[in-house]
């Protein structure tokens, strides 16, 4: 149940479980990120993100009330939840915007940097120790993703109009990496329902004025479609929480590259985009890299509850 108390880490972490949970979350979020393209780019990413948060908040509020009582979930770290909501929300907006106004393959390739950013942040802030085998497996995952994207035309041409979207895509990748560190921190100190409740509450509040300013009229079906992204996001966020409870940020981050496989499959299903030979080679590299990560031992993280490292610790 989502309302279960915080799960403590066992001495030996289950990397396989972490990889599987992370992969499931990636697949669900990959669908959310193509939502703007499904509408032909006529709906603002800010509007889409707000509707997603509202849909998720309605569902998680019902779950929280049923599991935690009328007072709902409590937290002693509201600012950490707010920071996580802002990082994830604006990172998602950046990804949707970049994929809408520039070639999807190029935008996706830039988004891949979130995995590298997350590893460096995990080392600096969470004191995770990354072994050579982890770097090798991560490099294999990254290589597989790049093979797919280059085969689909990433960086084939340069348009001066894409300078701003490129900067936004890079900033979004960094924000997603920051969110990964915050999820790891919160997942060890808060129940899953608390994490889900506050990220969607703060997300809905943060994006309400921006969605209002950029609002485009929607028919009932389109509004319902975007609201339904909320429950999908709840499932994806739950997968991420469980992934970080089983494994370290530096291990889970490279698994996020599998979203390229999902993006290619969605492109084939929804947009009739052909599957190039490079897709199969890249997918093989990603699968092998993920399997390698699942078989590696624990990284040696800071024990007990995760907290940001400070001088004197």
**pLDDT for res 57:** 92
Domain boundaries, the chain: 15-295
CB 232 within 8 A of CB 112: no
263/26 Cα distance (integer angstroms): 10
List C-alpha distances in Å: 116 to 112, 143, 176.
8, 12, 11
Give the gyration radius of the chain's Cα atoms.
19
Tokens at 290, concatenated:
């993920």
pTM here is: 0.69
Nearest-CA neighbor of 180 among 263, 250, 285, 227?
A: 250
- Residue 136, Cα to own-chain centre: how many angstroms? 22
**pLDDT for res 183:** 83
**pLDDT for res 209:** 92
146/157 Cα distance (integer angstroms): 16
**pLDDT for res 55:** 92
CB 248 within 8 A of CB 187: no
**pLDDT for res 70:** 54
**pLDDT for res 205:** 92
Per DSSP, the three-state class of 200 is helix
> Which residues does the chain have with pLDDT short of 50?
1-13, 301-313
């Amino acid at each position: 149940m989502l309302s279960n108390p915080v799960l403590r880490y066992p001495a030996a972490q289950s990397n396989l479980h972490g990889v599987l949970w992370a992969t499931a979350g990636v697949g669900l979020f990959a669908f959310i990120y193509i939502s703007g393209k499904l509408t032909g780019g006529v709906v603002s990413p800010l509007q889409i993100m707000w509707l997603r948060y509202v849909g998720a908040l309605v569902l998680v509020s019902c779950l929280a009330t049923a599991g935690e009582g009328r007072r709902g979930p409590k937290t002693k770290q509201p600012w950490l939840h707010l920071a996580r909501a802002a990082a994830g929300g604006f990172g998602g907006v950046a990804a949707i915007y970049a994929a809408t106004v520039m070639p999807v393959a190029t935008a996706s390739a830039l988004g891949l940097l979130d995995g590298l950013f997350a590893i460096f942040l995990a080392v600096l802030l969470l004191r995770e120790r990354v072994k050579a085998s982890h770097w090798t497996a991560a490099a294999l995952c990254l290589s597989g993703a790049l093979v797919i994207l280059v085969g689909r035309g990433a960086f084939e041409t340069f348009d001066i109009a894409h300078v701003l979207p490129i900067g936004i895509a890079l900033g979004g990748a960094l924000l997603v990496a920051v969110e990964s560190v915050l999820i790891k921190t919160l997942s060890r100190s808060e129940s899953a329902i608390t994490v889900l409740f506050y990220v969607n509450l703060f997300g809905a509040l943060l994006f309400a004025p921006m969605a209002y300013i950029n609002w485009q009229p929607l028919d009932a079906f389109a509004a319902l479609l975007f609201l339904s992204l909320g429950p999908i996001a709840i499932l994806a966020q739950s997968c991420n929480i469980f992934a970080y409870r089983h494994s370290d940020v530096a291990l889970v981050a490279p698994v996020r590259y599998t979203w390229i496989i999902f993006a290619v499959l969605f492109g084939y299903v929804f947009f009739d985009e052909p599957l190039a030979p490079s897709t199969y080679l890249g997918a093989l590299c990603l699968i092998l890299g993920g399997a390698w990560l699942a078989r590696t031992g624990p990284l040696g993280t800071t024990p007990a509850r995760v907290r940001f490292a400070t001088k004197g610790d």
